[in-house]
Structure 1
């Protein structure tokens, strides 16, 4: 029986580049896969070493081809009910993330990315926007606690960043 559509059971999103030279530390997380051919053997802006070696570029291409082969195999051999469950484009699909580090030799090191639990904003804590500011409770403007504590002005204050003005919801 023919399948009603093609399913994607394995996906990939490739981006970012880093210099492999010892001690350099240059990285550009905004580099896109489409930029890789231009980055092939291009000098690192910081140290001049090649940013993307031919060995690493070929490894990326092999990885992409492997993902395509797995999806073709799955669509040919797996039943449609299972493909629907495994489809990465399915609304609500739970996706895992893997970081791939390469070192210029074409060898890849895979490591799962464990999401950090969300940190609740707290007074004196860092701004979640990453601006370097501190979260503070602004002073109440029209406090009436002397009449009926606690007043709305004191209880309705929200944490606000001292630098960028970010406010907790």
Structure 2
């Protein structure tokens, strides 16, 4: 799904990504062990420009996901992504995740503002009633970003997932209208 919309946020904007938006900084960020520390699938194999383009294209053609680029004012190209996926119209639910792969924008609140904008769009435009995010307990930056976007903690999943080879707790957050 690739809606034709740009959502303004303080300090930039978000819009759905196109294959042409894949760039070396995106690839390098995904391969950076500091950036991808809390990401799962992206670490399975080294990312390339071709693999990133294929991921963007797959999301663009999927009826159940939208991959948004996070664009910071005064910076080109995009510096991160927000992925709304697992969109289930029947139940009015979806999952959301964020990755700021340009470390130069970390700590500025950009991720939380991008999450909030995409969440509002999902609730208002798609009619969703529940948008869910999971974050490893140790990923305090991601947890703060979701909380700043209006998400509330709903439950923990202790020990199901492995982080750096050890069972860990995933904290689940949700946003509702």
TM-score range, shorter chain: under 0.3
**Higher gyration radius (CA):** 1
TM-score (norm 1): 0.20
Q: Which has the higher helix share?
A: 2
TM-score (norm 2): 0.20
